């Protein structure tokens, strides 16, 4: 019991330090990149005004203008009037960026513009990536008992042989993972994000939790859209159960409208995504480890 | 000897199957996405012409036009006149995309546009990611002897104690890795890519080999630039050694100009990048494993 207490303390310390590390990264990235972004934003606005004031639009002028527009867009600065006015480098967004660095997901929807930012990214990931792997592994070890050892024991006590028990358990875990981290979030995304289909949601979840992170779909980054929240994922999974929640995405939309009326903070959205990535990756690791165990037992 | 022969055969089979898997992915992605890309390209060209033909450019018209331009840009279709005319979904580029999927780097400089493409990406990565990990692990096991066990044995025979020997070896391996997979490629990149500084090159190598893959720097994708090649990395590392090659990046530029005059194929560029990612990731894994071994030996 003494040992268990100490290992919980260690894990809490790890997670606390992880959060502090993310906050530290957010502060540094924000202070480095925000001025660069501001100047790029103003420059682009001036360029656009100049372009609109031209009496006749020549091919060459349009080309020059578009070149600048696309370059700015690469760093997450949009030329559109109704683009989100919130900075890509406020504290919450910077923290999200830091999180995508250390989990190696790297959506790249915003990227550092300055040399200092690039150099800091390298240093930050150099320490952060191994540390995050450590924290994730520690979390997986902690949930091994309630999610793997205990259920397998239960299945065996209920009369199953060890080998079929591991297979049944693996399949149950797979269904749980797919429901809680693919189907349910995808249902929420397709309700919350205006232009996302259900397939887009599944695609985003999969590409994220495999740490591929293509960045073509990132929640809350589209123009002409308020920042949305994934708060419901947690609410739903806890209150409604997984499978019914996933199928009842019409009610999710209702829930969301109510929620939207009550809150509307950027920070919450980014934090939810951050927690989604963190917990989802833990579950992916757990599934991988369980699969390895099962394969070992079957002599594969 | 019999066992060694069989394990080499297995590895060759793995790598052969890996290449076949990439080619298969390339064929499917190319056939799915190319028509979509073509239609997007023509549509954008028509839009641009219509926009240029407007007698007066209103704010609203510009806004509508830019919205379409940015949406197309997200999928790798550029509005610029002097943008690369080669498709993002020809066979070589599709193969490179497939490679960034299965290695989980996922630059996202081109992303599937169609639902079929997204669904296929999920399936392709579902099989490809674990398989690639298997191939990389098999390669690491194969180079363990020449790059880890043999040098450590040599250091021990030359009079070093086991513990200092592992430290010296780890540091030597680290230097080799940094020279061959960070400094030398960065030197080549800064010579070959017009707008890349040396830091940009290091940043690209680091972000790639950590599998973060932000995608803000991807060789050979900038507008107004011919497709470039990293062929010299191999040539340089083999002929000149690592450290001198890295510092003599002026001569690299000379080498490159000659090379550019002789060849100019897209396929080679993408293949070189693919090999760079593959070999670089193997080396990263090897370093990580060596570090673990050293840490174990020191009771950390
Ligand atoms: K990525
Ligand atoms: K990635």
- Say if B70 is an interface residue toward chain A (CB within 8 Å): yes
pLDDT of the residue at A224: 41
With CB atoms and an 8 Å threshold, state whether B199 touches A119: yes
- Say if A197 is an interface residue toward chain B (CB within 8 Å): yes
pTM confidence score: 0.80
Find the length of chain B: 300
Instruction: Please name the member of B51, B74, B119 whose beta carbon is closest to the beta carbon of A216.
Output: B74
Distance from CA of B2 to the nearest CA of A (A): 22
Greater confidence, A165 or A25?
Answer: A25
Greater confidence, B300 or A251?
Answer: B300
Measured between beta carbons, which residues in chain B are less than 8 angstroms from residue A132?
none
Q: Whole-angstrom Cα distance, residue B279 to residue B287?
A: 12
How would residue B28 be classed by pLDDT, with cut points 50, 70 and 90? very high
pLDDT of the residue at A278: 81
Q: Which residue has the tokens 């070959």?
A: B192
Q: Whole-angstrom Cα distance, residue A97 to residue A110?
A: 7
Give how far Cα A223 sits from Cα of A38, A96, B58, B157, B266, Å: 18, 18, 20, 65, 34
- Say if A59 is an interface residue toward chain B (CB within 8 Å): yes
For the segment B51-59, the average pLDDT, to the nearest whole number, is 76
For the segment A26-35, the average pLDDT, to the nearest whole number, is 92
Query: Taking the alpha carbons of B64, B69, B70, B74 in that order, is the dihedral positive or negative?
Result: positive
Greater confidence, A72 or B2?
Answer: A72
Name the most confidently modeled range: A163-172, A195-204, A217-226, B157-166: A195-204
Residues A196-231: tens digit of each pLDDT? 899 999 999 999 888 899 888 887 765 444 433 443
Q: Whole-angstrom Cα distance, residue B188 to residue B256?
A: 9
Other Cβ atoms less than 10 A from the Cβ of A84: the count is: 18
Q: What's the gap between Cα B64 and its chain centre?
A: 35
Cα atoms found within 13 Å of the Cα of residue A94, Cβ hemisphere only: 24
With CB atoms and an 8 Å threshold, state whether A213 touches B108: yes
Residue A184: name the closest of A100, A288, A283, A105 by CA. Answer: A283
Beta-carbon contacts of residue A38 (< 8 Å; ≥ 6 apart): A87
How would residue A255 be classed by pLDDT, with cut points 50, 70 and 90? very low
Instruction: Please name the member of A101, A121, A215 whose beta carbon is closest to the beta carbon of B215.
Output: A215
Closest residue of chain A to B118, computed from CA coordinates = A203
The answer to whether residues B22 and B95 touch, using CB atoms and an 8 Å cutoff, is yes
**ipTM given for this complex:** 0.79
How would residue B256 be classed by pLDDT, with cut points 50, 70 and 90? very low
With CB atoms and an 8 Å threshold, state whether A73 touches B78: no
pLDDT of the residue at A242: 35
- Is pLDDT of B41 > 80? yes
The answer to whether residues B230 and B219 touch, using CB atoms and an 8 Å cutoff, is yes
Q: Whole-angstrom Cα distance, residue B104 to residue B208?
A: 10
pLDDT of the residue at B2: 57
> B17-51 as b/e, with b when 16 or more CB fall inside 10 Å?
ebeebbeebbebbbebbbebbeebbeebeebbeeb
How would residue A169 be classed by pLDDT, with cut points 50, 70 and 90? confident
The answer to whether residues B287 and B174 touch, using CB atoms and an 8 Å cutoff, is yes
Instruction: Please name the member of A80, A126, A199 whose beta carbon is closest to the beta carbon of B66.
Output: A80
In A103-183, alpha helices (H)? 115-144, 150-157, 162-178
pLDDT of the residue at B246: 36
């Amino acid at each position: 019991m003494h040992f268990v207490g100490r290992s919980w303390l260690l894990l809490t310390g790890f997670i606390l330090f992880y959060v502090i590390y993310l906050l530290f990264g957010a502060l540094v990235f924000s202070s480095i990149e925000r001025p660069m972004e501001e100047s790029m934003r103003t420059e682009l606005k001036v360029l656009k005004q100049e372009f609109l004031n031209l009496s006749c639009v020549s091919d060459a002028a349009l080309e020059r203008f578009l070149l600048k527009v696309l370059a700015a867009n690469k760093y997450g600065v949009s030329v559109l009037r109704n683009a989100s006015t919130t900075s890509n480098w406020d504290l919450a967004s910077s923290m999200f960026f830091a999180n995508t660095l250390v989990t190696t997901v790297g959506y790249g929807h915003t990227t550092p513009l300055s040399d200092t930012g690039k150099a800091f990214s390298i240093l930050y990931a150099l320490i952060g990536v191994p540390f995050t792997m450590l924290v994730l592994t520690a979390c997986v070890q902690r949930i091994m008992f309630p999610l793997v050892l205990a259920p397998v024991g239960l299945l065996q006590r209920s009369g199953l042989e060890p080998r079929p028990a591991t297979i049944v358990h693996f399949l149950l875990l797979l269904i749980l993972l797919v429901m809680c981290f693919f189907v349910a979030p995808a249902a929420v995304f397709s309700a919350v994000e205006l232009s996302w289909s259900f397939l887009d949601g599944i695609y985003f979840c999969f590409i994220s939790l495999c740490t591929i992170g293509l960045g073509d779909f990132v929640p809350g980054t589209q123009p002409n859209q308020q920042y949305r929240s994934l708060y419901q994922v947690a609410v739903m999974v806890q209150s409604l159960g997984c499978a019914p929640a996933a199928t009842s995405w019409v009610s999710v939309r209702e829930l969301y409208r109510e929620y939207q009326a009550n809150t509307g903070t950027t920070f919450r959205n980014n934090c939810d995504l951050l927690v989604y990535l963190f917990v989802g990756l833990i579950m992916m690791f757990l599934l991988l480890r369980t699969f390895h165990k099962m394969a070992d037992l079957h002599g594969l």
